[in-house]
Amino acid sequence: MAGSNKLNITPPRWLLAELSYKCPLQCPYCSNPLDYAKYPNELSTEDWKRVLSQARKMGAVQLGFSGGEPLTRQDLTELVGYARELGYYSNLITSGYGLSEEKIVELKQAGLDHIQISIQASTQELNDHIAGTATYQHKQDVAKLIKKHGYPMVLCVVIHRENIHQMPQILEMAENLGADYLELANTQYYGWAHLNRDALLPTREQFEEAEKIAQAYKEKVAGKMKIYYVVPDYYEDRPKACMNGWGTTFLTIAPDGTALPCHSARELPGLDCPNVKDFSIAEIWNESKTFNFFRGTGWMQEPCRSCDEKLKDFGGCRCQAFLFNGDMYSTDPVCSKSPERHRIDTAINSARELALSDREKPLVFRNSKNSKQF
């Protein structure tokens, strides 16, 4: 293993329970693995309950039910109720598809704390195009019902080149729907988003313009609606402190029970991610090779190893280092100190060329037919 540093293991605080890869939507930026169709097995209700109670005992308190679409699980209400008993603060991360008023009430009674609903764009035409499904009107209705039943409502809009020009309308839509939180998540280029990057990555000018609008709006709605703005790291010169440090805070459990330090970690070679069917959460978190792999700083190469910022960003994202450099130990290429930074610039330029040309590159939508090709 690369960086075992067992002296300093902090307990997990956030648990992301990816209940199912099934999803009626087909977002071309989906962060699920390209080959998700290879993992059709899902944990049983009993397995999930065991995971929830073991992680809670270690100190996990924020819980996200996600997927895919978590509403495809028939036992969702039961799991929500169980999580509430254990004292989790739970969040349903949903596309809103299949969420009826009855279900909203049922989940509230079971103890769900908040709902994060995604909307793809501020217009029906674009929303339905990106989602690959006609969902716009339903999402608007669901957003209102979430508020009606007293949940804090988090509206999540993933930003990319097809919708970035709608920033002013997206902000207005969120305010009109009464969102308590608006998450403007610039696309992170992993999974399907990586595959579609040339068509999705905004140009620097587009990004800067949109950011200005969002920041100004932030002040306008201060005290009413909180705006979380997730920056697109390609346009930064320092990488993100990915997952707040490997194996320090976040634990993701994939639908088949694979435990992951971040939701893309499955794509890294030789990690042998453990499964909750074989090990307890404590064993996985404290002792598995996977979770110790990039703990601490012992695994780092130059320029990170002797960099005085290494405790700030932990050398950036391991998946991004692997995707660009083919070397998961290397410095995240977003960093201006990385000798591979030019690879990010090449990606930016390639997307820019496509954006400024009149060529079209069709989006590859996230569905099982496409997934089976990987």
Partner 1 sequence: MTITPDQLIQFSPLHRLQWEEAQQKYVILYPEGMVELNQSSAEILKLCDGSRMLAQIVAELEEKFATSGLTNDITNFLNVALQNGWIKQA
22 binds ligand SF4 (CB under 6 A): no
CA 106 to chain centre: 26
| Residue 313 interacts with, from partner 1, ligand SF4, none (CB under 5-8 Å by kind) | ligand SF4
Q: Considering only residues 146 through 185, tell me which ones interact with partner 1, judged by CB under 8 A.
A: 150, 152, 154, 180-181, 183
Count of CB atoms within 10 A of residue 157's CB?
A: 22
Contact range with ligand SF4 by CB under 6 A, out of 4-12, 20-28, 70-78, 168-176:
20-28
Q: DSSP secondary-structure letter at 284? A: I
| CA pair distance 28, 347, nearest whole angstrom | 18
Contact range with partner 1 by CB under 8 A, out of 109-117, 162-170, 252-260, 332-340:
109-117
Q: Which residue has the tokens 């399907």?
A: 192
139 binds ligand SF4 (CB under 6 A): no
62 binds partner 1 (CB under 8 A): yes
| CA pair distance 52, 89, nearest whole angstrom | 12
Between 215 and 368, CB nearer to ligand SF4: 368
| Residue 287 interacts with, from partner 1, ligand SF4, none (CB under 5-8 Å by kind) | none
CA 319 to chain centre: 13
| Residues in the chain, overall count | 374
10 binds partner 1 (CB under 8 A): no
For the CB of residue 203, give the shortest distance to ligand SF4 in the complex, in Å.
Answer: 23
Q: Which residues make Cβ contacts (< 8 Å) with residue 245, sequence separation at least 6?
A: 295, 314
CA-angle at 25, arms to 258 and 95, nearest 5°: 80
| CA pair distance 225, 217, nearest whole angstrom | 10
Mapping DSSP to helix (H, G, I), strand (E, B) and coil, where does residue 105 land?
helix
| CA pair distance 279, 50, nearest whole angstrom | 11
Contact range with ligand SF4 by CB under 6 A, out of 244-252, 260-268, 280-288, 329-337:
329-337
Burial 8-21 (b: 16+ CB within 10 A, else e): ebebbbbbbbbbbb
114 binds partner 1 (CB under 8 A): yes
200 binds ligand SF4 (CB under 6 A): no
| Residue 50 interacts with, from partner 1, ligand SF4, none (CB under 5-8 Å by kind) | none
Annotated binding-site residue numbers for [4Fe-4S] cluster: 23, 27, 30
Between 27 and 260, CB nearer to ligand SF4: 27
Return residues touching ligand SF4 (CB under 6 A).
23, 25-27, 30, 32, 67-69, 95, 118, 238-239, 303-304, 307, 309-310, 313, 315-316, 331-332, 335, 337, 366
